[in-house]
Structure formats: structure tokens, C-alpha cells
Homo-oligomer: A and B are copies of this chain.
Amino acid sequence: MNMEYLSTQPYKGVRDFYPEDMAIQRYIFDGWAKTAERFGYARVDASIFEPSALYRAKGQENEEMVNEQTYTFTDRGDREVTLRPELTPTLARMIAGKRHELYFPVRWYSIPNLYRYERPQRGRLREFWQLNADVFGDNTIACDVDMLVYVANIFKDFGATLDTFVIRVNDRGWMNSVFDSLNLTDEQKRAMFLLLDKKNKITAAAFDAEAKEIIGADFTLPSPSADSRIMQTVNILHDLGITNVVIDPAIVRGFNYYTGLVFEIYDTNEENSRALGGGGRYDNLTEMFGGDPITGIGFGMGDVSMVNFLITHQLLPENLTPAPTLTILPLEEIAAGEAIKIANKFRAEYIATVVDATDRKLGKKLEHACDDGIKFALVLGSDEVTSQSYTLKNLFTREQTTGTAEELIKKILS
């Protein structure tokens, strides 16, 4: 064949998942699934393909996002398609599509793969996975509180203690009422939200100066009153033992659609300075599909953030990569059927078993099996086949046991 050789590198900004990478991903996804289900969320998903209109729907800002930060193309049927950059619009579409069949409150979670066209950097990839959990049709404080109890438990269930992460909360509704009391225009409000968003990254003096420029007067953020929804939420959480919740006016979240509680989770280790995840309450997400508004609250966090957090706090177990338990190594004289017949006895008892009848040297096979994490080996010669008595080698301890297949199965399972 006359050709240039292809590169073995993956496409820019995406990952290959070899068994050791996949084992970590499955550990995270399985953990996410278990906590979500314990809190009563049902798993859903949809396609990566969505009509681009779903993301353009909310005006100029979204137009730019779709055009510049997503994978968007026109298919041969002249449909404009976007690879989903987030799941929330899809969930809104699915909720709106079955609003008359669903019983509210609806609690859904999902672990979708998402796509963003951006310059790859630490913690930001073009393809990533994200845990999403949402409750639709419940606007109570109990629902806000329970969402944050759930979020704290995601971390706790991976073994994290409350001193390793902090939940920063704010209330867009309360912020809006503060701005309303100052008679700010929509444009001024918007500018103030953008300024608050960078509050923790600039000096107090710089913040005050910019605020004054926006509203034309000195700006002092009042504290929320004791009976405000956000204070009640925080107090209940503290009372429930979720003591790592703090009010932070700098939490505004980028998306326009949040209307109430907003929150972000941060690692207390400053090496991980970006938010680990976040979310908030929205009250009109299905409006683009018509019908009465449906309230909701949602949370999202990425797979890369989760892995970084677990590594930082030494919470990622070692040796996650699964290996077969037993390798059967038939000598040259042994027929294929004999080796597989014995393998099937172990497999029938749910012992993960492989057969290696290749002509590689026995010593190498044993060495590589051990390096791959396979614990037991059974070398099969004609004596063993005749006597139906086999010798099981423990490749980790070098211990040997001889017996029938039934006896060795008991040994392995013990």
C-alpha cells in the first residue's frame, strides 16, 4: 500500500479512554449515578444533535455563542444542527414535550457528553461529560435546600469531608430587588451582574470605582434580611449539618435564565481555583415551547473537575482498572476446545477468565498476566487434561493450589 502513515493522536481537545482512563471515568459516573438515585432522580438522556434554534432562541448573546463556541453545521436536509454544548435546553424541550403526561415535581439526572468549540486548556476540553440534576415543578425552599443537600452528598459519597469544598450561594431574585430599589435600568443591572461576577478577582477599591461608574453613586451591597429566602436556605442547611455553605454576592452565574438561588462549588485547595460545578433556579425555561411556565432548579459539574478534585484530596482509589481474575495457558499439545471447556467452568461461576493459546513463551505470558493485574494462572498440559486435576498459581503471592476445577473455583471465590 502506497500511502503516508496516519497519526495515532486523537482529534485536538478530546481524549482517548484506554482501560485505565475508562476505569476512572466509570468510577466517577457510577458514583454520580448512585448519589442521584438515592436522592430520587431518574436518569435521562437525549442525542448530541439538537436544532441550532434551541440555543439561538434567547437573543443576540446566544447567537454569538452558537456561532463562535459550538460545533454547528447544516446537514444535507438543510437543517441547522448544533452538537449540544449544555443539556438544560434539551431538558426543557423534553419536559415541554411531555408536560401533560409527567407528574410534577419531576427529578431527572443525566451524564451527557457535551461539545464546545474552544481553545483546549486545563479543565476545558472540546468534548467532556457533565453530571446534570434538575427538579422541575417545585418552587419551595425545601426544594432549594434539598438540591444543596444532594450536591454536598455527591462529594461526601466520594469520601470528601466538608472542609475540602465550599458551597457559595446567592439569590438572583434578591439581587434584582436590590437593583430595583436603586431604580437601575436593565442595562445597568446587567453591567452590575458582570461586575459582581469578577468581584473576587479585583480589589475592593476597583470594584467600588466601577460600581460608581455604572450606577452614578456609591454602591453598598446590603445584607439579606433574616427572613429572606436565601438566609432561610443557608440557616436550614447549617442546621442540617451542611456547614460549608456561605453567601457570596459574587456568585451570579453567566446564564441569563437564573431567577432565584444560584450556587457554585469550590475546592478549598486553591490549586483548583475554578468552580467545580454550579447551578441555580430558573422559572421560565420552557417558555420558548409555549404553554405555562415551569419552574426548575438545576446543577451541573464536569468530569474533569471531579477527577481533579478527587486527585487533589487523594480520594481516587488506586487499582481501579479491572483485570480478568484467571488466565488459562494451554501448552502446545492441548486442543482449543479443552482449554475453553475449562475456562467456561470458571466463567459459569462469574470468575472473569481468559484463554491465551498464542505461541508466546510461557514465562512471558505469566509475567505479562501479572503486570496486567491478573491474579491467577492455570497452565494446562496433557497430564492435567487426563487427570482433571489442575494447578492454580497465584501470580501475586506465588502460592500454588492443586485440585479439580470445582475445588479451584472455591479457592478463587474464597
Give chain A's interface residues, CB within 8 Å of chain B: 1, 3, 5-12, 14-19, 22-23, 25-26, 37-40, 42-51, 53-54, 57, 71, 73, 75-77, 79, 81, 93-94, 96-98, 103-105, 107-108, 113, 117, 126-127, 137-143, 145-146, 149, 153, 236, 239-240, 287-290, 321-324, 327, 330, 335-337, 339-341, 343-344, 347, 350-358, 360, 368, 371-372
Per CB-CB distance, the 7 closest pairs between chain A and chain B, nearest first, are A8-B97, A14-B47, A40-B354, A142-B336, A40-B324, A142-B357, A103-B368
Which chain B positions have C-beta within 8 A of A108? Answer: 19
Complex CA gap A372/B53 in Å reads: 33
Distance in angstroms between the alpha carbons of A38 and B322 in the assembled complex: 11
Chain B residues whose C-beta falls within 8 Å of the C-beta of A358 in the assembled complex? 104-105, 137-140, 143
Check B45–A17 contact: CB distance below 8 A: yes
Residues of B within 8 A of A142 (CB): 330, 336, 339-340, 355, 357
Assembly stoichiometry (copies):
2
19 pairs, A vs B, C-beta closer than 8 Å: A6-B288, A7-B289, A8-B96, A8-B289, A10-B93, A11-B51, A14-B47, A16-B46, A16-B47, A17-B44, A22-B45, A25-B45, A37-B352, A39-B353, A40-B327, A40-B352, A48-B127, A75-B117, A107-B354
Asked if B290 and A5 make an inter-chain contact with CB atoms under 8 angstroms apart, the answer reads yes
* CB–CB B145/A340 < 8 A: yes
Whether the pair B340, A240 counts as a contact (CB closer than 8 A) is: yes
Instruction: Give the CA-CA distance A41 to B368 in the complex, in Å.
Output: 16
Q: How far is the CA of A399 from the CA of B22 in the complex (A)?
A: 45
Q: Which of A43, A50, A96, A113 has the most CB of B within 10 A?
A: A43
Q: How far is the CB of A222 from chain B (nearest CB, A)?
A: 24
Chain B residues near A94 (CB-CB < 8 A): 8, 16, 18
Whether B355 lies near A42 (C-beta < 8 A) is: no
Max chain B C-beta neighbours (<10 A), residue from A1, A46, A76: A46
Q: When chains A and B are docked, how far (Å) is the Cα of A343 from the Cα of B45?
A: 27
Contact A22:B51 (CB < 8 A) given known A5-B288, A240-B337: no
Given contacts A39-B353, A353-B40, A372-B103, contact A47 B140 (CB under 8 A): no
A77, A126, A142: which has the most chain B beta carbons within 10 Å?
Answer: A142
* Known contacts A46-B17, A126-B49: A77-B138 contact under CB 8 Å: no
